Structure 1
Amino acid sequence: MTVLEEKPFAQQLSNVYFTILALFCFKLFVKISLAILSHFYIVKGNRKEAARIAAEFYTVTQGQGSWADRSPLHEAASQGRLLALKTLLSQGYNVNTLTIDHVTPLHEACLGDHVGCARTLLEAGANVNATTIDGVTPLFNACSRGSASCVELLLEYGAKTQLEICLPSPIHEASNKGHSECLDVLISWGIDVDQDIPHLGTPLYVACKGQQISCVRKLLYAGANVQQGRHLDTPLHAAAQQSNTDIVNLLLDFGADINAKNIDFKRPVDVAPARSLVERHLLMYEATPRSLCLLCRLCIRNCIGRSRFHLIPQLQLPTVLKDFLQYRESIRNF
């Protein structure tokens, strides 16, 4: 009789253990699923959804230093509220507070072209070379926004123009979006205008793809290699594909090789749209020998070398010739 009374209790105890184990496994499964889902949203670029998941399911605090959402410091920096920013810093907010994707207040200030906020953050000790999980730096954000003032400020505080070859490049971003003033600042600080990123190519190639003629001109004046593009594709290939006659003419003036072949053994004229103005222009250029003036200018510039282009105004030559060597006068004037 006693055995009969104890058996149901043992079964109940066994059921309790089984229930606890089942709940533990379910909780573990939910956590793993949410972690995978958050990672999926981050990879897809949906940071807000990833932050929402983290905030709702992991009960991360929303105060200062929260990794799941933006802090008041981020909000003040992104909106350019300088007084609020200074107040928050005086209250002890961490100047390098990170969001879920490692965005700092300095990233936000530069993306919003808020120079005053950026300066205040830097003076408070902000990391000028902080990178997000995507490798984006404040300098990249400044170039993306077209804020030449922020670019100058960041460089003054020791910003590196490129941390690693695989990370987003400020000069490529400026070239792609046509922010020639940012390019001017970067070039004046001695950035490598032929910086080559495998999946993007050179800044000149990117500018040609984006049809940013002002940036193409700036890069060429700074001595960018007119033949270096992406892999075997030259900038002239990119300009021909985009059917941009003005950029094609500019590249040809700087000595672009019209017979260069890409990985598919195609010349620029072969990748130009059929019966387009660019195709006709390239075919005519092939049939017309280059002038002696153009050949002489290219030869002299090659002998001088890119690193000494700034010395051309000091040459003992007539002003009109010095202007010609610097592409400040049209070849038709000679």
Structure 2
Amino acid sequence: MLKRGGNMTEATENPFASLHYSNVYLTILALFCFKLFIKISLNCLSYFYIIRGNRKEAARISAEFYDFGQGHRSWADRSPLHDAACQGRLFALRNLLLQGHNVNVVTIDHVSPLHEACFGDHVACARALIAAGANVNITTIDGVTPLFNACSVGSVSCAEVLLENGAKPEALVFQPSPIHEASSKGSSECVETLVRWGADVDFEIPHLGTPLYTACVSQEIECVRRLLREGANVQKGIYMESPLHAAAEKDCTAIVKLLLDFGADINARNMEFQRPVEAAPPSSLTEGFLLVYEATPQPLSQLCRQRIRDCVGRDRFHLINHLPLPNTLKNYLQYR
């Protein structure tokens, strides 16, 4: 009903509008609670049948409610196979596989049981899943692979198993990179394993830079040392900023010294046209060390080592051991 008077117009409001929206919210909440209840009930029921040894019934429940006839997709967040892999329960995992559970079943985020096994450092479960046909290069919706998860927790054993069975040691440019993750987490053994299987030690990601730069930002000196020994370009960081800039900004004198031993340019400039000494915190130990380093001539032995390594080239560093030289000199050339 409208009432008109002069320039004023009044409209009566709908008294059912607020009630309508309240009913929508209540319906959504009810559906969520119902789904959660069903999920918990099915997990408990399936687990009960597994414990009682009724494998056929457990397989039927899993096939009907978890696989849902969609191949590698699952409407549920997790399946019993995910839980067994996550907890490292090898016996339960094998039983589930024997019952016919899909080894490549994924959650809504495309997390597979192999992802869970590697993230938990359960190498025996990872082997069992791979032997049953698990995809070693499967990715989540964020591009995470099982190899990335293994490197994230420093699981060298899982990384080796994955690489032996066809896992790609290197990710795409815009996917999470295993070697960058290992470098940032301080897992130097994972770094060595990845490089041995063909990962590019200078693999650059636009928002992260190189693995060496990532290790310097995270102040992981063992990873820095490992990457440099594997032939990482000491000058290559992110854009114009070198690894030496990153180490100086973090006031990590030990890494700064290591980078300089491998030939880092002390006069390199970043995007702000700063040299590493200018990027270091004022009055810090790193700033003092760099000032002294600039004023001190470098030993001839150090200059010769850098020149020889440049001539040999990164791809042939492993041949230094075969040169007709004394072992002391070979070790010096290899920073041992």
TM class, shorter-chain normalised? 0.7 to 0.9
CA contact (8 A) 1:243 1:278 kept: yes
How far the C-alpha of 1:60 sits from its partner, in A, is 12
Alignment partner, residue 251 of structure 1: 259
AA aligned to 2:178 is P
Alignment partner, residue 206 of structure 1: 214
Alignment partner, residue 93 of structure 2: 85
AA aligned to 1:260 is A
Alignment partner, residue 50 of structure 2: none
Alignment partner, residue 81 of structure 2: 73
Matched position secondary structure for 2:201:
coil
| Distance 1:173-1:59 versus aligned 2 partners, 3 A rule | closer
CA distance in 2, matches of 1:283, 1:220: 24
Matched position secondary structure for 1:102:
coil
Per-residue CA deviation, residues 245-279 of structure 1 (Å, 9 max, x unaligned), is 11000000000000100011111111101000000
| Distance 1:164-1:54 versus aligned 2 partners, 3 A rule | farther
How far the C-alpha of 1:190 sits from its partner, in A, is 2.1
Matched, 1:322 2:330: yes
CA contact (8 A) 1:102 1:133 kept: yes
**Runs of 4+ with deviation above 4 angstroms:** 56-62
| Counterpart among 125, 140, 158 of residue 132 in structure 1 | 140
CA contact (8 A) 1:54 1:60 kept: no
CA contact (8 A) 2:213 2:246 kept: yes
| Distance 1:319-1:126 versus aligned 2 partners, 3 A rule | same
Matched, 1:312 2:320: yes
Alignment partner, residue 233 of structure 1: 241
| Counterpart among 35, 38, 41 of residue 55 in structure 1 | 35
| TM-score, structure 2 as length reference | 0.81
Per-residue CA deviation, residues 73-95 of structure 1 (Å, 9 max, x unaligned), is 00000000001000001111100
CA distance in 2, matches of 1:210, 1:153: 27
Matched, 1:168 2:176: yes
CA contact (8 A) 2:248 2:276 kept: yes
Per-residue CA deviation, residues 214-263 of structure 1 (Å, 9 max, x unaligned), is 00000000000000001111000010011011100000000000010001
Alignment partner, residue 107 of structure 2: 99
Alignment partner, residue 282 of structure 1: 290
Segments of 5+ residues of structure 1 without an aligned counterpart are 1-21, 35-51, 329-334
AA aligned to 1:135 is G
Matched, 1:299 2:317: no
Matched, 1:112 2:114: no
Per-residue CA deviation, residues 137-180 of structure 1 (Å, 9 max, x unaligned), is 00000000110000000000100123311000000000000011
| Distance 1:261-1:53 versus aligned 2 partners, 3 A rule | farther
Per-residue CA deviation, residues 33-82 of structure 1 (Å, 9 max, x unaligned), is 97xxxxxxxxxxxxxxxxx6893599999632333311000000000000
Alignment partner, residue 7 of structure 1: none
Alignment partner, residue 13 of structure 1: none
Segments of 5+ residues of structure 2 without an aligned counterpart are 1-16, 43-64, 68-73
Alignment partner, residue 177 of structure 1: 185
How far the C-alpha of 1:97 sits from its partner, in A, is 0.7
CA contact (8 A) 2:104 2:113 kept: yes
> How many aligned positions are there?
288
Alignment partner, residue 194 of structure 1: 202
| Distance 1:276-1:53 versus aligned 2 partners, 3 A rule | farther
Matched, 1:151 2:131: no
My pick for the range that moved more, 160-169 or 257-266, is: 160-169
CA distance in 1, matches of 2:174, 2:144: 11
CA distance in 1, matches of 2:216, 2:113: 33
Alignment partner, residue 46 of structure 2: none
Matched position secondary structure for 1:164:
coil
CA distance in 2, matches of 1:60, 1:109: 22
CA contact (8 A) 1:113 1:142 kept: yes
CA contact (8 A) 2:240 2:271 kept: yes
How far the C-alpha of 1:104 sits from its partner, in A, is 0.2
CA contact (8 A) 1:55 1:68 kept: no
Alignment partner, residue 223 of structure 1: 231
CA distance in 1, matches of 2:322, 2:292: 37
How far the C-alpha of 1:183 sits from its partner, in A, is 1.1
Percent identical pairs in the alignment equals 63
| TM-score, structure 1 as length reference | 0.81
| Distance 1:61-1:284 versus aligned 2 partners, 3 A rule | same
CA contact (8 A) 1:54 1:68 kept: no
Please give the root-mean-square deviation of Cα atoms over the aligned residues, in Å. 2.5
CA contact (8 A) 2:66 2:76 kept: no
CA contact (8 A) 2:170 2:199 kept: no
Alignment partner, residue 281 of structure 2: 273
Matched position secondary structure for 1:273:
coil
CA distance in 1, matches of 2:34, 2:210: 39
How far the C-alpha of 1:198 sits from its partner, in A, is 0.3
